[in-house]
Amino acid sequence: MRLQQYITENKDMSFEEIITLIMNKCQPYIKEILPMYHNDDLMYSGRKHLSSNTIIKKIRNDRKPTDTPIKIQELFDSLFKKYHGWKPRSSSIFCTGSISTASDYGKVYMVFPMGKFKYLWNPDISDLFSDAVNDPDNYDIRVDDPDILYDFYGADIEDYIRDMGDDLYYNEYGGDPDDPDFEQWMDDHYDDIRDDIVHRMAKENEENNAEIYDGIISNYKSTDLKKAIKTGNEIMVNCNEYFLVIESLYYDLIEYYLHTYGNKKPTKKILKEVDEAVYYDRKVKFWKDN
């Protein structure tokens, strides 16, 4: 049976059950974050709709984005696939080394990938949607936005549309803009000229943004998890299953255990010492040294 069927199907666990599961099932992750020092931290995720203090969940491969438009997520995933071989935007749990950042999304849980796992992060990107899509220098042009031309050209837009009309009338139709029929032709084709301008701007904008995203995503890293955690940036983690443990109740116990015993399997003697040390706020060597 799988570790007592994961402690009776994810009921809230005791600390002994939690640390036993972590040491039995999460060794690849534990080995990456050890040794832990005074300012080291774990991975966290904020959750709004969980009531349990401990829960095991599977990674979904069809994750729907909360904020990112589907079209942008698909573009991101195609670029991640191109450079890193997998699609983290639709098949990851999103983590951070910052408790404060995780709390923006709900109750804070510590995240423990179970078994083999992989991850991606960028030293310069705290959140891909906010830093790339919502970057004020990286705008988005929608063809269904009636005000987009005024946003870019202001009061000069009428002159710009007329200049485009002049060129179109002369080059496409062989007409002379000084021809008295031009004004009527311009009135008849005004909406078409305006829409053509917007569509061309949108295409150029999409190509420009794709180039920016390409540069950002090519610079993602799949190593140095401890450094990723320290930055507090977004970490996209893929594994089969992961273990969530409520931070507010168990952080001190888990932190002390990892600082003091590393990846040793728990014994009754160790568990008693950890419980007493945290309960009595014992000043241990790693606190004194830091």
pLDDT at residue 112, rounded to an integer: 98
Contact 36, 258 (CB under 8 A): yes
Residue ranges of domains in the chain:
3-124+220-289, 148-216
What does residue 194 show for φ and ψ, rounded to 5 degrees? -60, -45
| CB-count burial class (<10 Å; 0-12, 13-18, 19+) for 151 | exposed
Adjacent-strand bridge partners of 245:
54, 110
Q: How far is CA 169 from CA 164, 197, 261, 272, in A?
A: 8, 15, 80, 87
pLDDT at residue 22, rounded to an integer: 96
What does residue 46 show for φ and ψ, rounded to 5 degrees? -90, 135
Contact 201, 151 (CB under 8 A): no
CA distance 170 to 165: 8
Contact 102, 46 (CB under 8 A): yes
pLDDT at residue 288, rounded to an integer: 43
pLDDT at residue 46, rounded to an integer: 95
pLDDT at residue 289, rounded to an integer: 44
What does residue 94 show for φ and ψ, rounded to 5 degrees? -90, 125
| Model confidence, pTM | 0.76
Residuewise pLDDT in 10s, the chain (290 residues)? 344 444 444 568 999 999 999 999 999 999 999 998 777 789 999 999 888 999 999 998 887 766 677 888 888 999 999 999 999 999 999 999 999 999 999 999 999 999 999 999 999 999 998 887 766 555 565 656 656 665 665 666 677 677 777 777 666 665 665 676 777 877 787 777 777 777 777 777 777 778 888 999 999 999 999 999 999 999 999 999 999 999 999 999 999 999 999 999 999 999 999 988 887 776 554 444 44
Output the furthest CA–CA distance in the chain (Å, rounded): 99
Beta strand residue intervals within the chain, DSSP E = 44-47, 54-58, 93-95, 107-121, 235-246
Quick: pLDDT tens for 223-281.
999 999 999 999 999 999 999 999 999 999 999 999 999 999 999 999 999 988 887 77
**Residue 34 neighbours by CB under 8 Å, 6+ apart:** 258, 262, 263
Residue holding tokens 């311009």? 186
pLDDT at residue 129, rounded to an integer: 83
Closest by CA to 109, choosing from 56, 174, 153, is 56
